[in-house]
Structure 1
């Protein structure tokens, strides 16, 4: 039996557009280099494909600089997909562009109608529940509306809180397997992962927390050698992918795909 939290047969990605230089960022640490981002994105897609999964590569959306970060537009579960309602106004228009791709694979596609907001970067699906972090992009009304939808499909949802100054819940955590979470110490200290096996990223390597488990691989951003070594010693097959350009837009490994 497969584990729907990290064993996937498909992923949806979207190629970066030239307009990515205008993407949102919490602080300006430099303009992304499109050529480097395209190389990194190709490495990411190739790694997903190496697992045998089908990768649906959507074309760039010039009108939406942040559209490469497809994860924020939807939540994919075995029973159906939910179209999100992003908290960043400039990203609301990305959702209608994602809907047709999801309808090709799902008979049941629902949507967050509002007035609340919720983004996929704040949602962590584990083996036993769906954790949703309240953040600057995800509010109580959005969480409540999603809870109603997923309860129809037999999922329990638990609301937690993203640390202040952290964009998304998954900026600070990722799933390594059905029961194991990779987390920053600041997030784990909140108690939100009590009852799980938690591995902490190394001090000073907090950005490594946004990794993804995709079939046999853990895809993690390059440049965090102590965390990579810790994961390798724990038995995970780590693939390091350069994330220098996505990081300028507060993006990471999970943001770049919808996995189902």
Structure 2
């Protein structure tokens, strides 16, 4: 029996466009370097492929600077896919760009119609429920509409709250397996992971919380040695990926792929 929370046969990625320099950012810590981002992205895709998964690589979208962050457009579940409704106006069109690809791989595709907003970066699917973090990009109406859609498929949604100043719920957490969550201490302190096994990122290494478990690997951002060592001591096979350029746009490991 596979574990649908981290065992995947396919992924969708999109190459960064030259317009990435105009991507959204909470604070300006520098302009992304396209060459370095392309190299990091290639390493990321290559790591997904190493697991034996098929990776659908989409062309860059110059008119959508943030389109490399495909995760926000769609929620992929075993029963079907849900097209999201981003909270950032400049990203709304990315969903329509992604939809033909999703319809090519899923028979059942549903849509967040609005008026609410919800982005994939605020959604963590665990072995027992779907956690959705309210944030600047995901509102109560979006959570309610998603809950109605996925309850049809037998899923339970639990609404939680993203810490102030943190863009997405998954900026501060990721799934290591069906029952284990990697989290910052500030997010775990809210009590949202009660009943799970929680591993904390090291103090000062909060950005390492946005990692992904993809089959046998944990893809983690490079440059956070204490967290990487802790994960390895807990038996995880960690592949470090340079995330310096994506981080300038508040992006991380989970943002860069749709996994199913």
Q: What is the deviation of 1:75?
A: 0.1
Deviates more, 1:36-45 or 1:97-106: 97-106
> Residue 92 of structure 1 aligns with which residue?
92
The equivalent residue for 2:225 is 225
Question: Alpha-carbon deviations, 1:210-233, whole Å to 9, x = none?
Answer: 000000000000000000000000
Aligned counterparts, 1:207-246, within 5 A: 207-246=207-246
Cα distance, 1:188 vs. partner? Answer: 0.1
Q: Shift of the alpha carbon at 1:105?
A: 1.0
- 1:98-247 to structure 2, matched below 5 A, reads 98-247=98-247
User: What does residue 257 of structure 1 align with?
Assistant: 257
Deviation at 1:166, TM superposition (A): 0.1
Gapped runs of 5+ residues in structure 1? none
1:26 corresponds to: 26
Q: Distance in 2 between the 1:211 and 1:107 partners?
A: 29
Quote the Cα distance in structure 2 between the aligned partners of 1:106 and 1:30: 38
Distance in 1 (alpha carbons) for counterparts of 2:155 and 2:187:
23
Cα RMSD between the aligned structures? 0.2
SS of the aligned residue for 2:105 comes to: coil
Give the TM-score taking structure 1 as reference length: 1.00
For 2:108 and 2:212, the matched residues in 1 are separated by 25
Instruction: Write out the 4+ residue segments of structure 1 that deviate beyond 2 Å after TM superposition.
Output: none
* Corresponding pairs, count: 260
